Each structure stands twice: as structure tokens, then as C-alpha cells.
Amino acid sequence: MSKQTLPSGRFVGRAEWFDEAGDKGGYDVVMSLRGGEEAFSVTVKHVFDNGDPDTDATFDMSFVASRLFSVSAGGHVVGKGYMVDGFCHYAMVFGENIVETNLSWQGADLSVFGSATKNAAGRHIAWEEHLRPENSADDN
């Protein structure tokens, strides 16, 4: 089977996070996807409704086999992932924190689901993001 590719472009939308203490909140997302058959990158910015600091991150993925890739951040390998039929999953380790992310796409829309073993408060957290291409007809 040949290597898979993500849709390319800039995606925007709203999202929700929720943690094990029952706390939850909303945030805005801007995600850029770039690349092709040998490598790709994911750049994401989150702006939280509750005033928490914005997050900005870029992850670089390099295929090591037809559908398997390594994940790097800041020039260091931090995880591994795979991509099959409109679905991408990757897991990263940052110290004692394990972060996993799932991207799925059908047509122009992108859905992102993930979790981390620790948020800033030390709690298990998960999130759900529904994104669309920037400047789509639904943008206001």
C-alpha cells in the first residue's frame, strides 16, 4: 500500500476540552497542515476562552514505512504515529506526560480528538475539535 497524505491547508474552528475533575471549556483553533508523501507537518494554535495562555506548536512527521511515521518537535523525536484511509493517529511523550492525537477527514472538514495524561493542573484531559478550511462559506 502506498503512503497516505493529509489534506493540506489552514483549518479553523471551535473546540472543547474536558478533564477528570469535570472542568471544561471552549477555545478557538487554527491548524495548518503541510506536506506530502515523505513528510508532513502540523502547526496548531489554541486561544482559550478562560484566559489560559495561548498554545502554539509545530510537529514534523517523517514517514519511516508506508503508513508509519515518527513525530518531532523542536528537532527532537517525541513520538510515533500512523495514517490510514482518512485517519491519522500519533502519540507523543513529554517527560511524564503522554499526548495522543487523532485526525480524521472526509471531504473538506477535519475532526481532531485527543487526550493527555496531564493538563496544567495535573489532570487527565481530552478535547474535541471540529475544523473547516479557512475562508470557507461558513466563516464569519
Instruction: Indicate which CATH number applies to the domain containing 107.
Output: 2.40.128.20
Asked whether residue 115 is assigned to any structural domain, the reply reads yes
Asked whether residue 30 is assigned to any structural domain, the reply reads yes
**Spatial CB neighbours of 106, under 8 Å, sequence gap ≥ 6:** 86
| Stated pTM of the model | 0.90
Confidence check: pLDDT of 25 > 80: yes
For residues 103-131, average pLDDT: 95
Query: In whole angstroms, what is the distance from residue 123 CA to residue 26 CA?
Result: 17
DSSP state of 136: -
Asked whether residue 62 is assigned to any structural domain, the reply reads yes
Domain ranges, residue 97: 9-133
Asked whether residue 1 is assigned to any structural domain, the reply reads no
Asked whether residue 51 is assigned to any structural domain, the reply reads yes
> Phi and psi of 12, rounded to 5°?
-135, 155
- Quick: pLDDT tens for 26-55: 999 999 999 877 899 999 999 999 988 999
* pLDDT at position 7: 86
Domain count for the chain: 1
Asked whether residue 118 is assigned to any structural domain, the reply reads yes
Beta strands in 54-135 (DSSP E): 55-63, 68-73, 76-84, 87-94, 97-106, 109-116, 125-133
Confidence check: pLDDT of 77 > 90: yes
Asked whether residue 4 is assigned to any structural domain, the reply reads no
